[in-house]
Amino acid sequence: MQTTLVERDVLERVLGTAMERGGEFAEVFVEDRTTTSAVLDQRRIEELSSGRDRGAGIRVVVGDTTGFAHTADLSERGLLAAARSAASVARGGGGGVREVALGALADHPTRATTQPRDVDKAKKIELLLHADDVARTEGSSITQVQIGLGDSTRRFVVANSEGVFAADHQVRTRFNISCVASGDTGMQTGYRPIAGTRGFELLTMEAVEEAARGAARQAITKLDARPAPSGDLPVVLAGGSGGILFHEACGHGLEADAILKQASVYAGKVGQQVASSLVTLVDDGTVVGEWGYLALDDEGRPGARNVLIENGVLTDYMWDYLRARKEGRSSSGNGRRQSYQHLPMVRMTNTYLLAGDADADEIVAQTPRGVYVAQLGGGQVNTATGDFVFGMTSAFMIEDGKITSPLRDCNLIGNGPEVLQRVDAVATDFSMTPGTCGKDGQSVPVGTGQATMRLTGVTIGGAS
Amino acid sequence: MSDLLERAERILESAHGDEELEVYVSTGVDTEVQAYQGQIEQLATASSSGIGIRILRDGVAGAQVGTAWAGSLDDEAVEEALREARDNVRFATEDEFIAFARPDGVAAVSLELTDDAVTTTPLDEKIAMAIELERMVRAGDSRIRQVDSANYSDYVAEAAIVSSTGIRASYARSGAYVSVEAIASDGSNDETGWGLSAGRAPGDLDIAKAANDAILRATRMLGSVKPASMKCTAVFDPRSAATLLAIIGGACSGEAVVRGRSFFANRIGEMVAASMFTLFDDPTDPRHFAASAFDGEGLACRRNVMIEGGQLKAFVYDTVSARRAGTSSTGSAVRGGIAGSPSAGCRALQLVPGDIDQAEIFRRVGHGVYVESLMGVHSGVNPISGDFSVGVTGLMIRDGQLAEPVREITVASTLQRMLLDIVHVGNDVEWLPGSAAGQTVAIEGIALSGS
C-alpha cells in the first residue's frame, strides 16, 4: 500500500483550488478504511462481511461559514470537483487559485502488532465458538448467545492550507457478547464488550473467556432481579463503566461547540468550582491501545491529554480547529469525524476520572442503603439544561452496607452540575470501558473510566 | 429500466455457476444547510454510491452465505467486493434455512415517492429556508435566548436489488426536512425545544410550524419542577408515542422471535394489549416518509397487522427468519444500507386511530403527566426483557388540563404491562420521519420517579 493515499502535489493543487473563491482555510481529508465483521448467533456463524470505504472530504472556511463536499473519486479530477463544490460557499470572494505548499508528511504508523489482514478467518471463528461454549457452560438457563467480532483498519491523510500534512494508521478491534437467560420470570440479558485501538492481540483467550462468563452470569443473575426502586438514593458505581456518567454529565457540556453557542450549562465557568473536590476529570487521546486512543485527531492534530476539571475546578474545554480558531487559540486534539463523509467536530477521546484513595469495599460497607451499579449501559444528555440519563444494565441493592438483591434494568436521571457536587468518595480500583459516542448523527469510538465511587443521591428510575 | 438497475444487472452477470449472487446498489445525493446568526454556518453537498454483495453456496447441510460491501461503484471496488464475499462464504456455518428471496407473486404497488423539486430547487432557496427558520424562532418569543442550530436538509436516494434467484427491484425516494432547536431562558434556567417539518420536497415544508413547535416546547418548560414520585397515567405525545411504537414493532420482528429475543415469542393469539390497540406496518401507504414499494430483499412490501384489538396476530418476516419459523416472508426485510444484510423489521408502523383528540384525552385522564420528550431510550428500554425506564420532560395534567412543567423525572414500567395498561389512543395521527407515525397514547399505572 502507498504511504500517501493521494500524492502531495495533487493535494497542494486541490487545496489551492479550494481557496480560489476567497476561502480563508481549506482542508483535504483522504481516508481508506477496510472493515471485517463476523457474527455468531445460536452457534452458527451467520456471515462474515468485509467492507471497503475510500474517499475524501474537503472543507473550506470563510468567516463563520464552512463549505463541505465529499467524493469517493480520488482522481485529481474528482478531488478538484469536490474542492470547487466546497468552495462555493465563499461568495463574492475571489483571487483565483492559491499556492499552497506542504512540507514533509508526518506519518504515524500503527502500534498494532497483529494486523487484521494477517489473521486467518478460521482463527476468528474458532474464537467465537469457544466464547459461545464458555458462556453456555455458566448455566442451562442461557438460551441465546450472540457474539460479534470486528476490526477496522483506517488510514487517513489530512492536509490543510496552514501546512498540516499528516497521516495516521488506526487499527481497532472489538469483540462483544450478549447472552439471554430465560426463567420463570421472563428473559434477561447480559453483555460484555472488549474493544481497543489494537490488532488481534487484544483478544487473548483469557480476556474472551472472562467476557463470555461475565455476560452469561449477568443474564442469569438478573433472572432473580426485582424491580428497581424509584426516587433519590445513594449510588455506588463500580470502577469502569461508571465513567459514562462523566461523559454524559459533563463531558458533552465541555465541548467547545456547545460552549461557544452558549448551549452548555458550563459556559463561562472556567476557574469556578463545578464539582466536588474529589473530581479531577481528564480527556486523554494518548492512552495507547484504549478504544478512544488516537495518534492524530481527524484534523491532523496530535492526540493530547487535557485536564478538564482539577480538584473540582473547571480548567478548560475541549477544542477542535474551527472552535479554537474563533477563540484565537489552538485545538486540543479533539477534532474527530466518523468518516470522510462527515465534517469534524469537537469530540471526546478517552474521558476519565482520576482515581482517589478510598477502598472500594469500604465505600460499599459505609453505605447503609443505596444502589450498587456494576455496569452502566449508555446515556444521553441535554447540554443546555444539564439533565442526563444513563442506564444501569447490572445493579444491586445495598442494604446495611452489603450488596444484596439484583435489580432489573432502569435509567438513572440527574442534572450534571448537581451530580458532580455529590461525589463523596473515590476509590483506587481504576479501570476503563469502551463505548460508542453518538453526536449529531456521527458515531466515534470513545473510552470512559473511573474507580469505584459514590454519589450521595441520584434519582433511580425504577418501577417499584 | 433505470441506469442503476442496469448497472446491477451487469454486475449480476459475473455470478459463478455454483453460487447464487445478490447485488444491492444504491446512490444518493444530499444537501445539508445549517444556519446560525443569520448566516450559513455549514453547507454540505455530496453524492455517494455503494454496493452490497451477498453470495450463497449450497453445501451438504444447507447453504452458506458471505457478504462484502464497498462505498463506490467503480469496477475495481465492485471486483474487490465480489472477491471478498466469495472468500467469506466458506467460513459461514451451513444452514438449511439460509436462502435468498425468490419472487413470490405478490405485485408491488406503484408509489411515487420522488419529487423532482428536491433537485430543481435552487440552493439559495434552501439556504434561505434555514435562515428564515432561525429568524422566526429568534423573533417569535422574547424568552428565546439562543437557537443552537437551524437546519435544512434533503436527499434523493435510489436503490436496486437483483439476484440470480429472480429478484429485480428498483426504487427511489426523496425527502426534505427542516429542524430547529431553541433554547428558552427565564433568567435563571434554560429549557430546550425541538421543532421539525418533513416532506418529499422543499415545498412541503411548514417552516412556521417547525418554528412555533420549537418555541412552544422550549418556553412552556420554563419554571419546570421536579415532582414527587408517584404512580399515575402518562399521556405520550405523538412524537414520543412513535418512539414507543418503534420499540413494540421491534418485538414483532420474526427475526427477534426466532432468535429468542422477543417477549412476544410463543404468544400468538394472546391478548397482549388493551382492546383499542391495533398495530400494523404498512410501507405501501405513501403518507409514511419511509414508504416503499419493495423491501430490503426486493419483494413487494405489503400491509401486515401484528396486533389487532389487543390480540397478537402475527410477526413480520424476511426470507430467512420466515424459513426458520416455517412460514413465508411478509415482505418485511429491512437493511441498513450497503453494509447491512437484510433482517426482518417494520418500517411504516401505525396504530388504528382512536376517536378522541388530545384535549379530550387530557379531560378523561384528569390527573397525570404529559410526556413531551423521551431521553435515554437506548439505555433504558430492554426490548428482550421488556423493562422500561426513560427520562422524560413534559407537563403535569391536573383537572383535565395541562399544568406545571416537570423535568428530571423518569417513567417506568415494563413494555408488557404498558401495552395492557393503554387507556386511550388519540385520533391525532402525525406523520413523522422514522419507522412509525405517532398519535397521542395514554397509559395508566406508570411509575413516575422524581424527588
Q: Looking at the predicted structure, is the pLDDT value of residue A1 above 60?
A: no
Instruction: State whether the Cα torsion B369-B371-B372-B377 is positive or negative.
Output: positive
Whether residues A99 and A245 share a domain: the answer is no
pLDDT at B379: 85
Spatial contact of A343 and B44, defined as CB atoms under 8 Å apart: yes
Under an 8 A CB cutoff, do B190 and A385 touch? yes
Give the domain-ending residue among A173, A199, A222: A222
Q: Which residues on B lie below 8 Å from A187 (Cβ)?
A: 260-261, 263, 384-385
Q: Can you give the pLDDT at residue A94?
A: 67
Instruction: State which amino acid sits at residue A131.
Output: A
> Grid coordinates representing B293?
414499494
- Segment A166-183 shows an average pLDDT of 96
Distance, first Cα to last Cα, chain B: 62
* Model pLDDT for residues A48-107, shown as the tens digit of each residue: 999 999 999 999 999 999 999 999 999 999 999 999 999 988 776 667 788 888 989 999
A1 within domain boundaries: no
Angle value at C-alpha B303, between B299 and B304, nearest 5 degrees = 100
Phi, psi of B238 (to 5 degrees): -55, -40
* Interface contact A52, partner B, CB < 8 A: yes
pLDDT class of A462 with cuts at 50, 70, 90: confident
Question: What is the separation of C-alpha A134 from the centre of its chain, rounded to a whole number of angstroms?
Answer: 28
Distance, CA of B319 to chain centre: 21
Asked which of A222, A243, A271 is the last residue of a domain, the reply is A222
Asked whether residue A238 falls in the same domain as residue A210, the answer is no
Asked if A50 and B67 come within 8 Å (Cβ–Cβ), the reply is yes
The arithmetic mean of pLDDT across residues A120-149, rounded, is: 95
Local confidence band at A47 (pLDDT 50, 70, 90 cut-offs): confident
Question: Which of B68, B88, B408 is closest, CB to CB, to A415?
Answer: B408
SS3 A429: coil
The span from the CA of B183 to the CA of A385, in Å, is 9
| Chain segment A262-291, per-residue pLDDT in tens | 999 999 999 999 999 999 999 999 999 999
Q: What is the pLDDT of residue A28?
A: 98
Query: DSSP 3-state helix, strand, coil percentages of chain B (rounded to 5)?
Result: 25, 40, 35
Residue A139 contacts B, CB cutoff 8 Å: no
A186 three-class SS: strand
Which of A25-34, A105-114, A211-220, A267-276 has the least mean pLDDT?
Answer: A105-114
What is the tally of structural domains in chain A?
2
Average pLDDT, chain B: 95
B48: nearest CB among A72, A125, A410: A72
Least Cα distance to A2 among A123, A145, A169 occurs for A169
Q: Count Cβ neighbours within 10 Å for each residue of B140-168 and write b for 16 or more, e otherwise.
A: bbebbbbbbbbbbbbbbbbbbbbbbbebb
Q: Using a CB–CB cutoff of 8 Å, tell me whether A249 touches chain B.
A: no
Beta-strand relationship, B441-449 and A423-426: unpaired
- pLDDT the model gives residue A5: 85
Please identify among residues 443-462 of chain A the ones whose CB lies closer than 8 Å to any CB of chain B. 459-462
Q: What are the residue ranges spanned by the domains of chain B?
A: 3-219, 224-284+305-315+346-451
The residues that bridge with A314 in the sheet, in sequence order, are A309
Mutate to test the interface with B, among A1, A21, A40, A49 (most CBs of B within 10 A): A49
- Are A59 and A114 contained in the same domain? yes
Query: Are A55 and A181 found together in one domain?
Result: yes
Same-domain status, A131 and A211? yes
**A154 and A242 housed in the same domain:** no
| Beta carbons of A373 and A452 less than 8 angstroms apart | no
Give the angle subtended at the CA of B305 by the CAs of B302 and B308, to the nearest 5°.
Answer: 165
Burial A26-57 (b: 16+ CB within 10 A, else e): bbbbbbbbbbbbbbbbbebbbbbbbbbbbbbb
Q: Is residue A163 located within the same domain as residue A253? A: no
- Residue A377: the pLDDT is 85
For residue A71, what is the domain's CATH number? 3.30.2290.10
Q: Which three cell numbers stand for residue A158?
A: 489530512
A-chain residues near B74 (CB < 8 A): 72
Sign of the alpha-carbon torsion through B158, B164, B165, B168? positive
Residues of B in contact with A143 (CB under 8 A): 260
**Residue of B44, B95, B261 with shortest CB distance to A343:** B44
Suggest the residue from B138, B189, B385 to mutate for an interface test with chain A (most A CBs closer than 10 A).
B385
User: Can you state the angle between helices B207-219 and B123-140, rounded to 10 degrees?
Assistant: 30
Question: Best interface-test mutation with A: which of B389, B409, B414, B415 has the largest number of A CBs within 10 A?
Answer: B389
Chain A interface, mutation test: which of B410, B411, B413, B444, most A Cβ atoms within 10 Å? Answer: B410
Measured between beta carbons, which residues in chain A are less than 8 angstroms from residue B447? 230, 462-464
- What ipTM was assigned to the predicted interfaces of this complex? 0.91
Task: Select from A53, A382, A463 the Cβ nearest to the Cβ of B412.
Answer: A463
Query: Residues of B106-139 as b/e, b for ≥16 C-beta within 10 angstroms?
Result: eebbebebbbebbeebeeeebbebbbbbbbbbbe
Write out chain B residues lying below 8 Å of A410, CB-based: 380, 387, 389, 410, 412
Do the chains contact at A462 and B389, CB–CB below 8 Å?
Answer: yes
Question: pLDDT at position A89, please?
Answer: 82
Residues A115 and A238 in one domain: no
* Angstroms from A413 CA to nearest CA on chain B: 6
> What was the pLDDT predicted at A378?
83
Rounded to an integer, what distance in angstroms lies between the CA atom of residue A181 and that of residue A189?
6
Based on the domain organization, do A181 and A244 belong to the same domain? no
What average pLDDT does this structure show over A109-116?
Answer: 91
Q: Give B300's contacts (C-beta < 8 A, 6+ positions apart).
A: B104, B106, B107, B108, B109, B293, B294, B331
B-chain residues near A261 (CB < 8 A): 36, 146, 148
Q: What is the DSSP string of B403-436?
A: EEEEEEEEEEEEHHHHHHTEEEEBS--B--SSSB
Q: How far is CA B316 from the centre of its chain?
A: 16
How much is the pTM?
Answer: 0.93
Cell numbers standing for residue A159: 492536509
Residue A126: closest C-alpha in chain B: B91
A 190-209 residues with CB < 8 A to B: none
pLDDT of residue B1: 57
By the CB < 8 Å criterion, does A141 face chain B?
A: no
Residue A381 and residue A416 in contact, taking contact as beta carbons nearer than 8 Å: yes
Q: How many CA atoms lie within 13 A of A438 on its CB side?
A: 8
Cell numbers for A165: 500534512
Q: How far apart are CA A171 and CA A2, in angstroms?
A: 17
Among B351, B432, B343, B347, which Cα is nearest to B171's? B347
Asked, for residue A2, whether it belongs to a domain, the answer is: no
Length of chain B (residues) = 451
C-alpha cell at B272: 397482549
- The answer to whether B157 touches B144, Cβ cutoff 8 Å, is no
Cα distance between residue B324 and residue B319, in whole Å: 9
Q: Are the Cβ atoms of A66 and B41 closer than 8 angstroms? A: yes
CB within 8 Å of chain B, chain A residues 113-132: 121-122, 125
Are A172 and A203 in a shared domain? yes
What residues form DSSP beta bridges with B368? B233, B397
CB B150 within 8 A of CB B38: no
Q: Does A350 touch chain B if contact means CB atoms closer than 8 Å?
A: no
Per-residue pLDDT tens, chain B, 451 aa: give them: 579 999 999 999 999 999 999 999 999 999 999 999 999 999 999 889 999 999 999 999 999 999 999 999 999 999 999 999 999 999 999 999 999 999 999 999 999 999 999 999 999 999 999 999 999 999 999 999 999 889 999 999 999 999 999 999 999 999 999 999 999 999 888 999 999 999 999 999 999 999 999 999 999 999 999 999 999 999 999 999 999 999 999 999 999 999 888 999 999 999 999 999 999 999 999 999 999 999 999 999 999 999 999 999 999 999 999 999 999 999 999 998 899 899 999 999 999 999 999 999 999 999 999 999 999 998 889 888 899 999 999 999 999 999 999 998 999 999 999 999 999 999 999 999 999 999 999 999 999 998 8
CA-to-CA distance for B162 and B171, rounded, in angstroms? 12
Q: A3 near A80, Cβ under 8 Å?
A: no
Nearest to A371 by CA among A331, A337, A402, A338: A402
Q: Do B449 and A261 touch (CB under 8 A)?
A: no
- Which of B145, B259, B384 is opposite residue A42, by nearest beta carbon? B259
Q: Could you give the angle at the alpha carbon of B30 between the alpha carbons of B299 and B74, nearest 5°?
A: 70
The CA-atom distances, in angstroms, between A108 and each of A9, A159, A171, A196, A197 are: 20, 14, 12, 17, 14
CA–CA gap between residue B108 and residue B431 (Å, rounded): 22
- How many other CB atoms are found less than 10 A from the CB of residue A418? 15
Q: Chain B contacts of A70, Cβ < 8 Å?
A: 46, 48
Q: 3-class SS at B87?
A: helix
pLDDT score, position B217: 96
Examine the domain organization and report whether A176 and A317 are in the same domain. Answer: no
- Put simply, the answer to whether B148 touches A38 (Cβ < 8 Å) is no
- Which of A222, A251, A275 terminates a domain? The answer is A222
- Give the residue numbers spanning the domain of A288: 230-461
Q: Which of residues 167-186 of A touch B (CB under 8 A)?
A: 180, 182, 186
Is residue A78 a part of any domain in this protein?
yes
State the smallest CA–CA distance between residue A386 and chain B in angstroms.
Answer: 9
Minimal CA–CA distance to B250: which of B382, B132, B342, B371? B382
Same domain, A146 and A291: no
Residue A2, pLDDT above cutoff 50: no
Q: Which residue has the cell 432561525?
A: B134
Identify the CATH assignment for B3-219 out of 1.10.443.10, 2.60.20.30, 3.40.50.620, 3.30.2290.10. 3.30.2290.10
